[in-house]
């Protein structure tokens, strides 16, 4: 029925989505390794458990509730209709030029990314089961609702439409990253700092991560996976135009990461006189987050510069949040929140279809919704199950109290 050319386009676009989706899924491993490397040994098993379990929770809740909420495709209970093909349209009318299940697969791994951001910020003190309960709500409702206002094209509570206001967020600097950071910030505020992080004199005490090779590996994984994250967000590749766009996105994503690395490396060098690897890793991620809002229009030079600025900013943001006694063991709020916002604000520099006002309104809308609703959910959990482990459990470490097993049981620790 379809022309052979169409069949091939359909096949290529679908395959491209699946490859990009697999790369984004791989980012879950990146977050897990990054966080496992930056916490202390005694909380490693627990953070690994959180990271891998939240991925499963995100997949299931997004299938059960979130995807329909966000895109309103009429696919029925638990997406029972998703196995048809995009040509015919799932529940009629809307037709896609690729497989609907490939679209779901690509979207679902984004949800998990948003949630992964939270786990790092609340690490080393939050209860495992309370965390997973929050994950259920964020991935089923909080994220899909703001997603419906942006990528879903729906009105914000029937009041205004972000797209009409000139809001543009290519792959989710705001929709995914800043949203994750907003949820994390709400959690951290209710949770408080790790014991010992700020001493009696009010000074910041360093709590070094236990395994920097793991953290570096995690960053490399995220760097690689981000090609899928941004590259897949072109949403098509089977024509000269879209292929060019995907290629530009890959190139710029890479250049921004490189710029972010150099920015953070130099900032840390100037501030401390040493090459702080953990800042370098955050710089890479900052470069990636900043370009995510618009990787298709900047020149490679501009992408590098945007990354550079983000890399410098993230260093100051991390130091600043610490001064405010907002304890974020992995720097997630700075990397994804502060830099995510920067990414949104930089879009109009290269993309004429976006307006600065639209970006600001969009950012405020997303942040407010996610922060407030998350705060409510965290507060509810705090009032019922509790969100923080006991002081004794915190001292002993989450590995034994939550998971009953150490991450490195044979190694002596200092």
Partner 1 sequence: MKLVTAVIKPFKLDDVRESLSEIGVQGITVTEVKGFGRQKGHTELYRGAEYVVDFLPKVKLETVVADDRVEQVIEAITNAANTGKIGDGKIFVSPIEQIIRIRTGETGAEAV
Q: Which is nearer to partner 1, 268 or 302 (CB)?
A: 268
**CA geometry: angle at 100 spanning 98 and 106, to 5°?**
90
Task: Name the binder of 395 from a second copy, partner 1, none, CB < 5-8 A by kind.
Answer: partner 1
- In the window 164-223, what residues touch partner 1 (CB under 8 A)? 203-208
**Token pair for residue 353?**
């279809």
Told to check if 92 binds a second copy by CB under 8 A, we report: no
Exposure class string for 305-328: b at 16+ Cβ within 10 A, else e: bbbbbbbbbbbebbeebbeeebbb
Task: Choose the binding region for partner 1 from 107-115, 245-253, 299-307, 398-406 (rule: CB under 8 A).
Answer: 398-406
- Give the Cα separation of 225 and 227 in Å (integer): 5
Task: Name the binder of 200 from partner 1, a second copy, none, CB < 5-8 A by kind.
Answer: none
**Token pair for residue 387?**
């969100």
Told to check if 274 binds partner 1 by CB under 8 A, we report: yes
Binding mask 299-318 for a second copy (x = CB under 8 A): xxx--x--------------
| 117 C-beta neighbours (distance < 10 Å), count | 26
Asked whether 169 and 175 are in contact (CB, 8 A), the reply is yes
Task: Choose the binding region for partner 1 from 114-122, 247-255, 313-321, 345-353 (rule: CB under 8 A).
Answer: 313-321
Told to check if 318 binds partner 1 by CB under 8 A, we report: yes
- Give the Cα separation of 47 and 31 in Å (integer): 10
DSSP readout, 343-391? HHHHHHHH-TT--HHHHHHHHHHHHHHHHHHHHHHHHHHHHHT-SB--H
**Token pair for residue 115?**
């949630």
Task: Name the binder of 324 from partner 1, a second copy, none, CB < 5-8 A by kind.
Answer: none
Q: Which is nearer to partner 1, 80 or 413 (CB)?
A: 413
C-alpha dihedral (68, 353, 298, 350), degrees to nearest 10: -140
**Token pair for residue 243?**
């292929």
Told to check if 91 binds a second copy by CB under 8 A, we report: no
Q: Which is nearer to a second copy, 86 or 358 (CB)?
A: 86
Which of 19, 65, 356, 380 binds a second copy (CB under 8 A)? It is 19
Task: Name the binder of 41 from partner 1, a second copy, none, CB < 5-8 A by kind.
Answer: a second copy
Task: Name the binder of 92 from a second copy, partner 1, none, CB < 5-8 A by kind.
Answer: none
| 352 C-beta neighbours (distance < 10 Å), count | 9
**Token pair for residue 409?**
């049981």
- Shortest reach from residue 208's CB to partner 1, in Å: 5
- In the window 229-258, what residues touch a second copy (CB under 8 A)? 231, 237-244, 246-248, 250-251, 254-255, 257-258
Task: Name the binder of 204 from partner 1, a second copy, none, CB < 5-8 A by kind.
Answer: partner 1
- Give the Cα separation of 43 and 397 in Å (integer): 5
Told to check if 178 binds a second copy by CB under 8 A, we report: no
- Give the Cα separation of 62 and 138 in Å (integer): 10
- Shortest reach from residue 250's CB to a second copy, in Å: 5
Asked whether 240 and 285 are in contact (CB, 8 A), the reply is no
Task: Name the binder of 205 from a second copy, partner 1, none, CB < 5-8 A by kind.
Answer: partner 1
Q: Which residues bind partner 1 (CB under 8 A)?
A: 203-208, 271-272, 274, 276, 278-279, 315, 318-319, 322, 331, 395, 400, 404-405, 412, 414
């Amino acid at each position: 029925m379809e022309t052979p050319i169409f069949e091939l386009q359909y096949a290529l676009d679908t395959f491209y989505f699946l490859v990009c989706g697999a790369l984004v899924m791989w980012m879950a491993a990146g977050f897990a390794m990054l966080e496992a490397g930056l916490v202390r040994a005694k909380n490693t098993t627990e953070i690994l458990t959180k990271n891998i379990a939240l991925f499963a929770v995100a997949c299931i809740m997004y299938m059960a509730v979130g995807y329909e909420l966000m895109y309103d495709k009429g696919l029925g209970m638990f997406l029972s209709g998703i196995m048809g093909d995009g040509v015919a349209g799932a529940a009629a009318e809307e037709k896609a030029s690729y497989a609907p299940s490939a679209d779901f697969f690509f979207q679902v791994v984004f949800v998990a990314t948003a949630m992964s951001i939270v786990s790092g910020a609340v690490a080393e003190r939050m209860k495992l089961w309370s965390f997973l309960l929050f994950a259920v709500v964020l991935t089923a409702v909080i994220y899909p609702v703001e997603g419906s206002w942006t990528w879903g094209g729906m009105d914000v509570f029937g009041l205004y439409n972000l797209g009409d206001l000139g809001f543009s967020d290519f792959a989710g600097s705001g929709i995914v990253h800043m949203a994750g950071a907003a949820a994390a910030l709400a959690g951290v505020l209710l949770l408080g700092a790790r014991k010992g992080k700020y001493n009696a004199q009010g000074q910041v005490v360093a709590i070094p991560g236990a395994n920097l090779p793991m953290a570096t590996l995690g960053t490399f994984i995220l760097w690689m996976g981000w090609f899928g994250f941004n590259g897949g967000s072109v949403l098509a590749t089977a024509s000269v135009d879209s292929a060019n766009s995907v290629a530009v996105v890959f190139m710029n994503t890479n250049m921004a990461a490189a710029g972010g690395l150099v920015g953070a490396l130099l900032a840390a060098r100037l501030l401390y006189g040493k090459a702080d690897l953990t800042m370098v890793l955050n710089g890479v991620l900052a470069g990636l987050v900043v370009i995510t809002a618009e990787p298709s229009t900047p020149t490679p030079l501009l992408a590098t510069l945007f990354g550079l600025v983000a890399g410098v900013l993230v260093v100051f943001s991390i130091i600043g949040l610490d001064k405010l006694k907002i304890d974020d063991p992995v720097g997630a709020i700075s990397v994804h929140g502060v830099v995510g916002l920067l990414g949104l604000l930089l879009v109009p520099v290269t993309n004429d279809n976006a307006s600065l006002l639209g970006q600001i309104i969009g950012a405020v809308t997303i942040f407010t919704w996610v922060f407030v609703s998350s705060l409510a959910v965290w507060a509810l959990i705090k009032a019922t199950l509790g969100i923080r482990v006991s002081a004794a459990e915190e001292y002993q470490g989450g590995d034994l109290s939550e998971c009953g097993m150490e991450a490195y049981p044979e190694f002596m620790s200092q």
